[in-house]
A and B are shown apart, each in its own frame.
Chain A
């Protein structure tokens, strides 16, 4: 296995073109935080983007930062914090910006901050054929052309190598607070009703964590609203969210995505190590091994029209059907005609 460390976008273009010429398969790699996500595949070399880590421009009054894709999430947020802003991906500090986007990593605050891909305003990619392609614009609104960059978000590096992105940022809230409430899905649902603007309501088998963020008065009043539902709640200001991740301690981590109202049908077969984002429909499930338990979760998820990829450990993405499979195949063939980018890693064996 060869490890290649390009220093410039031009280097990336060269590497990808050379891989095409030599029929070698490449895996674009960032901070190695989402390596297990995907179906089993083999490559001849890893293309590390970690040397592409410059901050290109950052104007706080724009609330937009342009960074090279190999910048670490921790470094980016340290820079933004000086101006009280954040890129709310909540990915691990060692993750790269590009890797976080390519893996479509899910923020536990998604109810409030939305999908990571929604924050990508513009992207520069080196497509699988070595073509340098830009799409989007460095403005919060832009409708000039198709949002090609949105296809790369979540593509697991199978269409192109992300080399630079413009990110829409958010102000860091004045106060962040987690409410700990004994109970599970039922009390969680009542809390979501009582505090509809919460940043997250995370239910686990024995406890609900409600994340509040915003202006101090706002958070205080939301706390009072939550107290009407759950008088015994415990409030902790600051701190990480979630405070506990029991599901992450197991060897296999599944990230099920279902309609929010179907969460209960998934957790029924999820064992005792799970966390569910109410109002969102994400359920993280920790399993000891990818055997029957995973099959059972996937069967249940399929019934409600969801997916259940494994994001850490073995187990792959699952066999959910691809919509418009021919469109998928033509896109892959157009952008990566020789199949050099992690062939087989993506859904449907793409």
Chain B
């Protein structure tokens, strides 16, 4: 039985009274993240040092509370949504850049550092942190690590996992271990690699060593528009097939463009069926050939206009359109659900056609924005929750969207994560044995299941050992 009062007193002793919240308003505020799932919690704590996190973990264990780590709460899959009597450990006050070492092209940061603040701190050294989720102005590095965050620019640079060299992890017994290394390889299994993307289920990240990469010497941004979604998607494949990997290839459909244009006035053509924002970057001399390849692929697929950003202001405006997409959508209907699925990029056309068909069948307005180069789709289902049956229709369509992606050889989530939202879908892509192996990873880190329980894996998943049957023994090679 959870002893919430005892836990609160112990936390106040360890962290200070002002760093522990238990009033109803605070508990309501921290009962959810940016997903649609509503949860509940018993206490919220704000550590300022790794030792504070360790204290939170120990106190939660001693008093029988499950523990849920949280950054800025921008997650869309419910990974930071607490359940039951949880202690929410919010790392936003751990927001210091501890050590930025340009010569090693790395930085140690606390988990609560806002992603864009790190980018800003690295820039004067000619370096940058590549992952750029749309929420980069508010999301934290700790959250980026927990979700293995992506963004528009992972086409060329990879996801968060490729940019985390090491991390200090508070394990479920309160110990702090450094996983990974500042050097190119460390000793042992690459535990760092499974912690990235583990949604707080393996421990709480107390510090992160991120890789910084040189800023590109040049960047050029194009806006292409097409009469059909098919031509737009085919252009994406054609660019890659031509041996060019742009920094980003972002696709938006007609519905998104209309909403964005009314909001951001970025000059997007509202009469096109699809627009493609392409950014190429590199050292001096690398831009021309890439730009020519992009333009020629687009012309071969009947592009209507090719607009090149004339200067940095124009470029920022084009990106404002893309980055404000989520915010602009409130104008279509009172509510919307954002999805995140991924398919092999050559199946984008089938995927988009399938999405519209699903929406039509369920009488839902659907708009779509895609990290097209990665095959990562973010369909939005627009609805009015007050309308009877609307929520149910959205849920039914949502499930079909996930199944569609899987049927095209894709996966249930490209970058938002599994959290609470999608754990029921994991069996679509992982077998019973696959899931059991996943559960083995979890219990290797957290044998008692204290860290963010009921997330990431389906609830019935267990780490079971397979032992050879008697039949196997009788046929054994060495028997």
Contacts and interface: CB of A to CB of B under 8 A. Distances in A.
A142 B179 contact: no
Contact of B285 (A130, A218, A279): A218
A327 B191 contact: yes
A143 B171 contact: no
Contacts, number: 302
B459 to A, nearest CB: 15
B304 to A, nearest CB: 23
A171 B171 contact: no
Interface in A131-171: 131-135, 137-148, 150-151, 153-155, 159, 170-171
A8 to B, nearest CB: 16
Contacts of B193: 117, 147, 150-151, 153
Interface residues on chain B, size class:
35 or more
Given A15-B477, A18-B476, A196-B126, 14 more contacts: A18-B478, A21-B468, A106-B185, A135-B438, A137-B410, A143-B414, A144-B411, A144-B418, A144-B429, A215-B286, A282-B184, A323-B186, A335-B437, A347-B187
A217 B191 contact: no
A260 B212 CA distance: 13
B285 A217 contact: yes
A147 B478 contact: no
A294 interface: no
A324 B179 contact: yes
A217 B291 CA distance: 13
Contact of A317 (B187, B414, B438): B187
A324 B444 CA distance: 10
Contacts of A83: 241
A334 B463 contact: yes
B188 interface: yes
A139 B411 contact: yes
A120 to B, nearest CB: 10
B214 A197 contact: yes
A107 to B, nearest CB: 10
Contacts of B412: 144
A132 B431 CA distance: 10
Interface of A: 15, 17-22, 24, 44, 59-64, 83-85, 104, 106, 110, 114-115, 117-118, 127, 129-135, 137-148, 150-151, 153-155, 159, 170-172, 174, 196-197, 214-222, 257-262, 277, 279-282, 305-307, 317-318, 320-324, 327-328, 330-331, 334-335, 337, 346-348
Contact of B468 (A110, A130, A279): A130
A322 B202 CA distance: 18
9 contacts: A64-B344, A130-B468, A140-B375, A144-B422, A144-B426, A217-B285, A218-B284, A259-B182, A328-B189
Contacts of A317: 187
Given A141-B342, A147-B194, A151-B189, A281 B416 contact: no
A141 B414 contact: yes
Nearest to A129: B466
A61 B444 contact: no
A238 to B, nearest CB: 18
B477 A306 contact: no
Contacts of A279: 105
A335 B444 CA distance: 10
Contact of A154 (B169, B190, B289): B190
Given A134-B430, A146-B198, A331 B190 contact: no
Given A18-B477, A129-B467, A143-B418, A217 B440 contact: no
Given A147-B161, A218-B284, A320 B187 contact: yes
Contact of B478 (A22, A135, A174): A22
B435 to A, nearest CB: 8
Given A139-B410, A334-B463, A221 B283 contact: yes
A307 B185 contact: yes
B411 A134 contact: no
Interface in B229-259: 237-238, 240-241, 243-245
A129 B472 CA distance: 12
Contact of A137 (B411, B436, B456, B466): B411
A143 B159 CA distance: 10
Nearest to B202: A146
Given A141-B150, A335-B440, A118 B158 contact: yes
Contacts of A305: 181-183
Contacts of A322: 187-188
Contact of B437 (A61, A135, A216): A135
B271 interface: no
A204 B479 CA distance: 54
Contact of B214 (A141, A146, A196): A196
B100 to A, nearest CB: 13
With most chain A CB atoms within 10 A of its CB, the pick from B150, B238, B375, B416 is B375
B135 interface: no
Contacts of B311: none
With most chain A CB atoms within 10 A of its CB, the pick from B202, B440, B442 is B440
Contacts of A348: 187-188
